[in-house]
């Protein structure tokens, strides 16, 4: 399970050091793709295959399904670590997530999220109403 938050930098070539705790969970190769809220999602191969299986069950005849496929699969890339524990984030994904220099890497259960520092600061600030969010999720059966 991926959890925790780490601040890193991405170099001008698009290389990003991944925290060693996450490297163990992600494996040698993993998939990175566009995520929600303007960040990138990264999945180990097992989680990615589970996601693919769920997608295969959706009715391809629905436009929303085809759009969903394109959003997540059209920009997905298989990445692997170099000897320094870095990955090369493809230029199209760096552009989507506005990754420039300062980056936040976050573990979220079965995936890793990669955020620009600016977007993370905005997203993190919106957690101010976590009490209301907690109440809404309690109605779905989640409580801590």
How far apart are alpha carbons 74 and 92 in whole angstroms? 11
Are 84 and 104 spatial neighbours (Cβ–Cβ below 8 Å)?
A: no
pTM of the model: 0.90
Paired tokens of 41: 């999602």
Q: Of 110, 113, 112, whose CA–CA distance to 1 is shortest? A: 110
CATH homologous superfamily of 2-117: Transcriptional regulator MraZ domain (3.40.1550.20)
27-64 pLDDT, tens digit each: 999 999 999 999 999 999 999 999 999 999 999 999 99
Taking the domains of the chain in order of start, what are their residue ranges?
2-117
How far apart are alpha carbons 29 and 45 in whole angstroms? 7
Q: Of 23, 6, 5, 4, whose CA–CA distance to 82 is shortest? A: 23
Q: What is the mean pLDDT of each run of 10 residues along the chain (144 residues)?
A: 94 95 94 96 97 94 95 96 96 97 95 96 73 81 77
3-state secondary structure of 5: strand
């Amino acid at each position: 399970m991926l959890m925790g938050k780490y601040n890193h930098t991405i170099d001008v070539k698009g290389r990003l050091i991944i925290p060693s705790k996450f490297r163990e969970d992600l494996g040698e190769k993993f998939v990175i793709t566009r995520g929600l809220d303007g960040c990138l999602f990264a999945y180990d191969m097992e989680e990615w295959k589970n996601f693919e299986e769920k997608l295969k069950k959706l009715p391809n005849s629905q436009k929303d399904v085809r759009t969903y496929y394109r959003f997540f699969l059209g920009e997905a890339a298989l990445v692997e670590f170099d000897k320094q524990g870095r990955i090369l984030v493809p230029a199209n994904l760096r552009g989507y997530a506005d990754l420039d220099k300062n980056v936040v890497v976050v573990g979220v259960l079965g995936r890793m999220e990669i955020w620009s520092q600016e977007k993370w600061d905005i997203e993190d600030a919106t957690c101010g109403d976590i009490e209301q969010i907690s109440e809404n999720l309690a109605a779905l059966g989640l409580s801590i």
